[in-house]
Amino acid sequence: MKILIVSATRFEVEPLIGAMAVLRNAESNFISGAFNGIEIDFLITGVGMVATAYFTGKVLDESYDLAINAGICGSFNKNLEIGDVVNISEDAFSELGAEDDVSFLSLEDMQLPGITKLINRSGALSEVLERLPKVNGITVNTTHGNESSIQKVYDRMHPYVESMEGAAFMFACEQERIPYVQLRAVSNYVEKRNRDAWNIPLAIKNLNEKLVEFISSI
C-alpha cells in the first residue's frame, strides 16, 4: 500500500514523520518514508486552499491507494473537546458566492457552475475511523474570530469545524478518484480570537497518535 499524507505545515505531522522507519528528502516539502511496511509520502503544501489544491493535484496520481489530509481545526461545537480528533466527511467552500446587501448568494442561488460542497463517499476504511466523530466542516480563507460573522456562517451552514485547506484537498482527490480521509484535531473553539484558550500541542499529539493507529489498522 502507498499513502499520501497532505498537511499545510510540517509541525502538524512532525511526530509521524519522526516515527518513519525509512526517510528520504527529510528537509524538503515532499518527504518519503515507510511505516509498518507501508510506503508513505508527506506533502507539505503551505497554508490555504489555493496552495493545497495546486500541490495536491500536482502530486496525486494512481500510484496512491489512499490520501490523508491531516491537520488541526477550530470547532464551532463545544460538544467536541479541545484535542478531539474528527473525521470530516463533508466539507464546503463557505465563502464561494456573492453578497447581496445582508444576504449571501451561493453559486446555486446565482445558477453558476462550480462545486461548493463535497461529500466523502470513499466509505469506512477501518474501525478506527468508525470510532471517530464524523462531522461536517467549512474551508475558509479567513478563520472566524468575530461574533457576528461566526453566527452568520453557523446559521447558514451549521458547520462543526473549520479549516483553511480541507475542501481543497477533497476536491483534488475527487478529481483524481483517489480514496481519501480528512482527519483533524480540534485546537481551539471558533470564537473571538483567544490564543490563551488554544491547545495546539495537545491537538497535534492526539492527531498523530490517531494517524499511527489508523495507518496500523489498514
Per-residue pLDDT, 27:
76
What is the pLDDT at residue 28? Answer: 86
Beta strands in 20-65 (DSSP E): 22-24, 30-35, 38-44
Cβ(131)–Cβ(171) under 8 Å? no
Radius of gyration of the chain (CA): 17
* Cα–Cα dist 159/88, whole Å: 10
Please give the pLDDT value at position 124: 66
> Which residues are CB-contacts of 197 (< 8 A; sequence separation ≥ 6)?
82, 188, 189, 191
3-state secondary structure of 144: coil
- Torsion 156-152-150-70 (CA) sign: positive
- Block means of pLDDT (10 residues each) for the chain, length 218 residues? 97 94 81 92 97 97 96 96 97 90 86 90 85 97 93 95 98 96 98 92 98 93
What domains are there in the chain, each with its CATH number?
Answer: 2-216 (3.40.50.1580)
Residue 56, SS3? Answer: helix
List helix spans (H) across 69-199: 127-130, 147-157, 166-176
Provide the 10 A C-beta neighbour count for residue 111.
6
- Cα torsion 159, 164, 170, 172 to 10°: value is 150
Name residue 5's beta-bridge partners.
42, 68
- Identify the bridge partners of residue 180 per DSSP, sorted by sequence position: 67
Which pLDDT belongs to residue 101?
84
The residue among 18, 120, 25, 140 whose CA lies nearest residue 68 is 120
Judge if pTM exceeds 0.85: yes
